[in-house]
């Protein structure tokens, strides 16, 4: 199956796990990637600007979708996270 991607622009983004639980991040939109992020860790990643970051946590034996955030809201500009609305995951 072939999937056509119209907008190829990728943006540098950051997610900060400010919880006391380990979470799993997943990026959708044609580039399915997953990354485990431990409590108090940051995750810097590149993703298509119209992608979504899905955040999963665990409760006993099941994985729960905790949040789904547009990547546009997680923009990282010159090392500083931006709150502007307007290929891999790396933990730092």
pLDDT lower than 70: segments of the chain: 1-8, 29-31, 78-92
| pLDDT value of position 10 | 84
Compute the distance between CA of residue 91 and CA of residue 88 in angstroms, rounded to an integer. 10
pLDDT computed for residue 34 by the predictor: 87
Do residues 71 and 15 touch, judged by C-beta distance below 8 A? no
């Amino acid at each position: 199956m072939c999937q056509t991607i119209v907008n190829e622009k990728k943006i540098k983004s950051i997610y900060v796990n400010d919880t006391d639980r380990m979470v799993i991040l997943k990026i959708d939109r044609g580039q399915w990637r997953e990354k485990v992020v431990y409590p108090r860790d940051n995750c810097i990643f590149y993703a298509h600007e119209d992608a979504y970051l899905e955040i999963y946590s665990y409760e006993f034996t099941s994985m729960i979708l905790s949040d789904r955030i547009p990547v546009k809201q997680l923009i990282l500009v010159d090392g500083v996270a931006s709150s502007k609305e307007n290929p891999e995951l790396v933990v730092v």
